[in-house]
C-alpha cells in the first residue's frame, strides 16, 4: 500500500512538472527554429533570433532601463520598510494590525485606476514627473510594499528581537547599533526572499509602465509589446531570455541564502 502511494505521488508530481514545463520547452524550441508551421517538429534550428535580440541596441537599452527602475524602486522600499517594521515590532507592536491592513490596500485598487490617478496627480503642479523614470520608481516602490512587508514581518517574527536588542544594549550598544549589528544580519534570508519576489514581479510589470511612461521610457515589457509583430521567433527568444534571467536570479538567491 505504501509503495502504491509513493508511485501515485510521483506520478502526480511528474504530471504537474510536465504541464508546467511544456509551454516553456515549446517556446524555447520555437525560439530556436528557422521555420515551424505544418510540421510536428521545426524544419531547422538556429541561434539567429537570439543574435538579433542581443545585438539590438533598443533591447539592451530597454533591459538596462528595467533593471534600473526595478532596482531603484526596490532599494528604496527596502531602505524605508525595514526600519519602519523594526520600530513597529520593537516599540509599537500595537500597530501590527493597522500595518497588516495598510499593506494590502495596493491590491484593492486596479492598476489602470491607479495609473490614471497618478497621471492626474503628477502631470503638473509642484512635482511634474509624469512620463519620466521617477514616476515609475515611486510607483514600483508602492507596488512591492506588501511583498517586502510580509517577507520582513515573518523574518522579524522568527528572531528573538527584544532579546537581541536588549543583549546588545547591555553590552553598551545603542538601539541603532543593535539594529545594524545584531538584528539586520539575522534578516538576510528574509531580505533575499523579499528582493527576489519583488524584483520578479517588477521586471514583468506592464500596465503601469505602459500607461505612465510608454515609449518615452521604454522598459523591457514595453519593448516586448512594441516588437511583438516583428516575428514570433524573435518574441519567443525574448521570452526565453526573460525566463533565463529570472532563473539566474533564483539560483543566486538560493546560493546566497544557503551560505553561512
Question: For 206-225, what is each residue's pLDDT tens digit?
Answer: 888 888 888 888 898 888 88
Cα separation of 121 and 107, whole Å? 20
Question: For 103-140, what is each residue's pLDDT tens digit?
Answer: 887 777 778 788 877 877 777 767 778 778 888 898 89
Delimit the domains of the chain by residue range. 1-46, 49-258
* pLDDT for residue 168 is more than 70: yes
| Claim: this prediction has a pTM higher than 0.85 | no
* pLDDT for residue 163 is more than 70: yes
DSSP code per residue over 125-186: TT---TTSHHHHHHHHHHHTHHHHHHHHHHHHHHS-HHHHHHHHHHTT--HHHHIIIIIGGG
CATH fold label, 49-258? MetI-like fold (1.10.3720)
Amino acid at each position: 500500500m505504501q509503495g502504491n502511494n509513493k508511485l501515485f505521488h510521483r506520478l502526480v508530481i511528474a504530471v504537474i512538472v510536465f504541464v508546467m514545463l511544456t509551454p516553456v520547452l515549446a517556446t524555447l524550441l520555437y525560439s530556436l527554429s528557422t521555420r515551424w508551421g505544418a510540421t510536428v517538429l521545426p524544419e531547422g534550428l538556429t541561434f539567429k533570433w537570439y543574435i538579433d535580440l542581443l545585438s539590438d541596441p533598443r533591447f539592451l537599452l530597454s533591459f538596462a532601463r528595467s533593471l534600473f527602475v526595478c532596482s531603484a524602486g526596490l532599494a528604496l522600499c527596502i531602505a524605508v520598510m525595514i526600519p519602519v517594521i523594526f520600530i513597529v515590532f520593537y516599540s509599537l507592536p500595537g500597530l501590527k494590525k493597522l500595518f497588516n491592513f495598510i499593506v494590502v490596500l495596493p491590491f484593492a485598487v486596479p492598476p489602470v485606476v491607479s495609473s490614471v490617478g497618478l497621471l492626474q496627480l503628477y502631470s503638473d503642479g509642484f512635482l511634474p514627473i509624469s512620463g519620466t523614470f521617477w514616476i515609475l520608481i515611486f510607483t514600483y516602490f508602492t507596488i512591492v510594499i506588501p511583498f517586502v512587508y510580509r517577507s520582513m514581518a515573518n523574518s522579524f517574527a522568527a528572531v528573538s528581537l527584544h532579546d537581541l536588542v536588549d543583549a546588545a544594549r547591555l553590552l553598551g550598544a545603542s538601539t541603532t547599533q543593535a539594529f545594524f549589528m545584531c538584528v539586520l544580519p539575522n534578516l538576510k534570508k528574509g531580505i533575499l526572499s523579499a528582493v527576489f519576489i519583488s524584483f520578479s514581479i517588477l521586471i514583468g510589470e506592464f500596465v503601469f509602465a505602459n500607461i505612465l511612461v510608454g515609449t518615452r521610457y521604454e522598459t523591457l515589457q514595453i519593448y516586448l509589446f512594441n516588437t511583438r509583430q516583428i516575428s514570433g521567433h524573435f518574441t519567443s527568444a525574448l521570452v526565453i531570455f526573460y525566463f533565463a534571467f529570472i532563473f539566474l536570479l533564483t539560483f543566486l538567491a538560493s546560493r546566497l541564502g544557503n551560505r553561512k
